[in-house]
Structure 1
Amino acid sequence: MSVELIRSYTLTGGKHVGDLLWWTLADARVTRSTLETVWANAGLAENLLPEPPTPEKALRSAVREAQVGQHDHLLRLGKEDDGEIVFAVVAETRDGEGNVSLAQTARIRLDRARPAKLESDRPGHDLFVAVSAAYDRLLNTHTPDDVRRALVKTLGSCAAVTLREHGGVYWVPAPYAETLRRLRDAVSNIGASRLDVVPIHASPEATAALGDAARASLDEEITALRTEIDGFLTDPPERASTLARRLETFDGLRAKARLYHTVLQVQVQDLETALNKLTLQVEGLLQTKAA
């Protein structure tokens, strides 16, 4: 079904309660500067961008790319410290009798003090050439997975609900409609990518289905937090800041629950009670640390 046909079935005279959305990332490798420009032009908050590329991330991504399809060579981390990262190129041979031999054939080195170029004891080795070329490209470039993480982070700031177990289709409440459309504008300017938005209007069926999904999402988050706090009660974290961040998480969930109640009439009183109990437990741990 086309997006327009889906919209024709969802357009009703009821109140706009939110939007369904999904996306396709195509040709989505993008330089940091381009992504920053696209994001700013769409009016999206800078803190929703992915972390900038780093030499370490670029090297690890380049190694993963170069390893694909290699049957006789392995790329293995040999050393990592504050000064350098070294990967070994290892040749793997079999003698037909069930014996496997490994021999290092080259080193790939990132000098953290001079990350502009990779180094090797065999600069002409095919795998070093491949890793080096990918590294040069990735050093200032975001991968499609980076872009996906930025999308998910932005949707998280919009109290989005995942409608499929493994993601891909989301519902965003109506109060965030403007932010969602800004995100759609940004995605449309990243390669050949697109984000499709289908408005959903109030009807008994829509309200019930989205309410169930919203409630399930909240239940899942609270269950995960309850498990974590139970662990804290047995083995408190060393840093008080860890506990303080959980209090912020609880406040965020309360706000999300109240939003779902306002938009979809989701019953949240028991969720508020559960969050209040968790809050008291964390505050008790903080008082114990301060004593």
Structure 2
Amino acid sequence: MSPVTCRRRDIAMSALERIRSTLAAPGGEHLGDIVYWTLAEARIDRSTLEKIWAGAQLAPELLPEPPTAEKALKSAVREAALGQPDRLIRLGKDDEAALVFAVVRETKHDDGSVTYQQETRIILDRKTESVSSDHPGHDLANMIAARFRELRATHTPDDIRRSMMKVLDSCAAITLREHGGVVWVPAPYADMVRRLQSGVERIGSSKLYILPVHASTDANRTLADAAKVAIEDELAQLKAEVEGFLAQPPDRVSTLVRRLDAFEALKSRAELYRQVLNVHVLDLETTLRDLSVSVEKLLDQKAAA
């Protein structure tokens, strides 16, 4: 485990407790909000989600990607495979024309041998986006087909969670717990967080909780530590990526251009943390400038090729 990861873990373990102790006390300037959530009954059809998103005045580009036939079938297969001790569902084919899963019965014999018998195939025709089976009436095939029809226009809780994180990332959020689920969002994005809350709480029985944090010695120190580690960690990741590009340049120019965008985004986020929490990361601007020069040289090489 790297030193940066260890530091993040240690801060994550203490950050919430240290900040929680300051929430009830009179505070100064609003530093931002601690945000956490529960997603319940969060399956939702695309059209309803779009209406909720628009009603909350959230950017449409932060919505999840529209459901696809391939994703719907794979999700239906995963759900159908649960609770099937003697039957397996295995990917049989995946090409431009079709996606095929085979239902296979596994039989264990007294002598220790195992035999397999294919019962049916579930076939997604990519052109027509229809699902069929070569054994009509097969119980698992019917179950998968029914779930496919439901999921074809439906977003899962995972889709909602990923879109929530897109919104929070756009708000320069900092994760306060190692495995996610609890973040701090700087005060300038308070309105965005509350709009996200209004949208999320219209999805099933989901809840998004907001705990305002105000300036105090403990809160400032804890959040500043978390912000500094987050910036240093992201900077280290970007540096490692660019070193990899120098050793083996990526095929796509867009990959390099996105890194330049990432450098600017990190610089902006660091400036925000500096303004709100007085956080300073040693050599940040110098490192980002050097990384930008390296990426621009790679872009020039590709343009000249």
Which range, TM-score by smaller chain?
A: over 0.9
AA aligned to 1:14 is: G
For 1:101 and 1:25, locate their aligned partners in 2 and report how far apart those are by CA, in whole Å: 42
Pairing partner for 1:246 from 259, 268, 287? 259
For 2:176 and 2:188, locate their aligned partners in 1 and report how far apart those are by CA, in whole Å: 18
1:217-265 Cα distance to aligned partner (Å, 9 max, x none) = 1111111111111111111112222111100010000000000000000
Q: Which runs of 5+ in 1 are unaligned?
A: 1-5
For 1:99 and 1:13, locate their aligned partners in 2 and report how far apart those are by CA, in whole Å: 70
For 2:90 and 2:269, locate their aligned partners in 1 and report how far apart those are by CA, in whole Å: 44
- The TM-score with structure 1 as length reference comes to 0.95
What's 1:221 paired with? 234
C-alpha contact 1:258 1:268 (8 A) present in aligned 2: no
Q: CA deviation at 1:9?
A: 3.2
**Corresponding residue pairs, total:** 285
Pairing partner for 2:200 from 176, 187, 194? 187
Partner SS state of residue 283, structure 2: helix
What's 1:133 paired with? 146
Q: CA deviation at 1:268?
A: 2.9
2:168 maps to 1:149: no
C-alpha contact 1:20 1:171 (8 A) present in aligned 2: yes
C-alpha contact 1:163 1:170 (8 A) present in aligned 2: yes
For 2:136 and 2:207, locate their aligned partners in 1 and report how far apart those are by CA, in whole Å: 40
Pairing partner for 1:87 from 75, 85, 101? 101
What's 2:295 paired with? 282
For 1:106 and 1:172, locate their aligned partners in 2 and report how far apart those are by CA, in whole Å: 50
For 2:283 and 2:80, locate their aligned partners in 1 and report how far apart those are by CA, in whole Å: 52
Partner SS state of residue 118, structure 1: strand
Pairing partner for 1:56 from 70, 90, 98? 70
Partner SS state of residue 205, structure 2: coil
> Where does 1:205-220 land on structure 2 (aligned, <5 Å)?
205-220=218-233
For 2:204 and 2:283, locate their aligned partners in 1 and report how far apart those are by CA, in whole Å: 45
- The TM-score with structure 2 as length reference comes to 0.91
For 1:220 and 1:10, locate their aligned partners in 2 and report how far apart those are by CA, in whole Å: 31
Runs of 4+ in 1 over 3 A off after TM superposition: 6-11
For 1:37 and 1:7, locate their aligned partners in 2 and report how far apart those are by CA, in whole Å: 39
1:97-153 Cα distance to aligned partner (Å, 9 max, x none) = 2111111110101112222x4111112111101111111110010000000001111
Partner SS state of residue 97, structure 1: coil
